[in-house]
Amino acid sequence: MNALNKVLRLGFFAVIVRTVVLLVIGLNVRHRERLPVAGPAVIAGNHNSHLDTMVMMSLMPLRSLAKVRPVAAADYFLRNGFLAWFSLRIIGIVPIARQRAEGADPLAECRAALGRGEILIFFPEGSRGEPERLARFRGGIAKLAVACPEVPVVPVYTHGLGKALPKGEALLVPFFADVFVGEPLRGSDVEGEFLAALRDRMEALRGEGVFAPWE
């Protein structure tokens, strides 16, 4: 990332994103100290809204932003010129091809980013699901944990962002959100199924909150 892009990225998150998060959404963050401030590391979050990535990045210290890379679908974010430029240069996504050539490794860029000491934001569900419901976890995060067994995977559960900007909507609605940060989990810590262990951690985080019934 060149110097101009770093300045633009810092300005976007420091001025625009943090203002929206503080004034429009409002967050209650529990166990913020568990978030990684240096890589390599993976933040694994549930996915209900386009706000998920922005909120998670807003939680990171500004000095760490240059190393934070959300993992995102290449076919969605690289489909036109401006969106591709903004996604790659300002948001800093690691693009993953959902439709890939036979024999291609979809996680190669993720492993390379971790090798550079970066922090990935990864959504194990893949695409956005129904508000406040955990969908089935796909296998990518488990493959990455096995390939990089000493890299910490930090589970983060968010509640309320699916109400503020649900799937299929373009209008942001003011709504209070909760963020629960879990203890890190490494591939080397797990005997057996990593996805099950990660989901257990995520369910435990969800259980820390007391929420009104979803409307």
The amino acid occupying position 187 is G
| pLDDT at residue 171, as a whole number | 61
| pLDDT at residue 214, as a whole number | 53
Tell me whether residue 16 is in a domain. yes
Whichever domain contains 52, its CATH number is 3.40.1130.10
Tell me whether residue 212 is in a domain. no
Tell me whether residue 18 is in a domain. yes
What's the CA gap between 140 and 107, in Å, rounded? 8
Residues of the chain short of pLDDT 70, as ranges, are 1, 76-78, 98-103, 128-131, 165-174, 212-215
CB neighbour list of residue 23: distance below 8 Å, 6 or more residues apart: none
What's the CA gap between 16 and 211, in Å, rounded? 29
| pLDDT at residue 72, as a whole number | 87
Residue range of the domain that includes 107? 3-207
Please report, in angstroms and rounded to a whole number, the separation of the first and last CA atoms in the chain.
42
Scan for tokens 């406040």, then name that residue: 132
| pLDDT at residue 74, as a whole number | 78
Number of structural domains in the chain: 1
